Amino acid sequence: MRTQVGIIGAGPAGLLLSHLLHLRGIDSVVLERRGRDQIESTIRAGVLEQGTMDTLAEAGVGERMKAEGALHHGFELAFEGKRRRIDLTALTGKSITVYAQHEVLKDLVAARVAADGKLFFDVSNTSIHGIDTASPSIRFEHADEQHELHCDYVIGCDGFHGVSRSAIPAALRQDYERVFPFGWFGILVEAPPTSDELIYARHERGFALISTRSQDVQRMYFQCDPNDAVENWSDDRIWAELHARVDSDEGHQVVEGKIFQKNIVPMRSFVSTTMQHGHLFLAGDAAHIVPPTGAKGLNLAVADVRVLTAALVAFYKESRTDLLDAYSETALRRIWRAEHFSYWMTRMMHRLDDASPFEQRLQVAELEHVTTSRAAATAMAENYVGVVAV
């Protein structure tokens, strides 16, 4: 097989890149180790920045996002028994949309199928070859047959555990990582919304997050031991923990309902540099991971894709390589900014077992500052909606 751009991974980065290239007349093939049903049913959070919303709409895949996503103009910070609102729109002129990642994937897969895009699901034994040459290839197995896809460029969008990052020689890579000693216990609940907007709660027992999926389904998290087991948490114990961490002295309470999913999410920060070598480029989780506190993961993947799309269009339409050459440097400026914001949010909102009482009071002082100072609130809002210049 032959194509212009070979893409490994049918996550948000891979599918969006394939579709944006298609709209600009550039051919691609997407390879994915999972089945279509699996990627469309694996429920993950989705807080979409303004830039992500705009990109999806411009790509023609934003109709359902606009109709079914929850447009939010702010969020609440809960601490010391009170709640204080960060007005994103008033501070930045921008907003966010809560729209689950698997719904974004459904929209992107449907768009690629409608455009007769080349998608291979359930592939295995994927390997990358010849990235130092002008004609790299991807070998893979599909439907019990061996295939080799020749292309001009290989784009690795296959996540943290994929094969793409390891195809860059270890001597040329520098990996930076921070594994946090806590995780998030997540539940899906059949219940009406607790709040019209997201609630980020800091409590001496640990962090909690209240989010909405629809008028009938809510997503809630609370900080836990990453080595804990879901079976250790009865519904009654979960609700007692969420009430303790989120209910306010002002009378606000978490709305209970039927819990129909439980899972534990580990927390890490990770960046791999460089994001390119020869004719191989990395995008999304293949190159970087952020803790979900800052709501940056999906948005960083989309930002990578915007940069890559412009670079590939410049190459194919104008025979320019300057943007491709600068891809890693360009993308990493935004990535490190988002890593810092997510790390700052995580440190401010979570119970830190190694923190002294003095440091715990500094967390509260920081929350008081960002909820009373317009300048501090604006800085937080600009980072959250993704309008910080990088």
Q: Is 292 a catalytic residue?
A: yes
Q: Is 66 a catalytic residue?
A: no
The catalytically annotated residue of 22, 94, 296, 350 is: 296
- Cα end-to-end distance, the chain, whole Å: 39
- CATH number for 150: 3.50.50.60
What is the rounded distance in angstroms from the CA atom of residue 364 to the CA atom of residue 261?
32
What's the domain count of the chain? Answer: 2
State which residues form the domain around 108: 5-69+100-176+268-345
Asked if residues 82 and 250 have their Cβ atoms less than 8 Å apart, the reply is yes
| Within a domain: 167 | yes
Do 258 and 311 lie in one domain? The reply is no
- CATH number for 212: 3.30.9.10
Q: Is 200 a catalytic residue?
A: yes
The catalytically annotated residue of 99, 153, 200, 327 is: 200
What is the rounded distance in angstroms from the CA atom of residue 29 to the CA atom of residue 131?
17
The catalytically annotated residue of 136, 292, 316, 350 is: 292
| Within a domain: 83 | no
Do 139 and 231 lie in one domain? The reply is no
**pLDDT tens, per residue, the chain with 390 residues:** 999 999 999 999 999 999 999 999 999 999 999 999 998 887 777 899 999 999 999 999 999 999 999 999 999 999 999 999 999 999 999 999 999 899 999 999 999 999 999 999 999 999 999 999 999 999 999 999 999 999 999 999 999 999 999 999 999 999 999 999 999 999 999 999 999 999 999 999 999 999 988 889 899 999 999 999 999 999 999 999 999 999 988 888 999 999 999 999 999 999 999 999 999 999 999 999 999 999 999 999 999 999 999 999 999 999 999 999 999 999 999 999 999 999 999 999 999 998 999 999 999 999 999 999 999 999 999 999 996 544
Residue 350 buriedness (CB in 10 A; 0-12 / 13-18 / 19+): buried
Q: Is 72 a catalytic residue?
A: yes
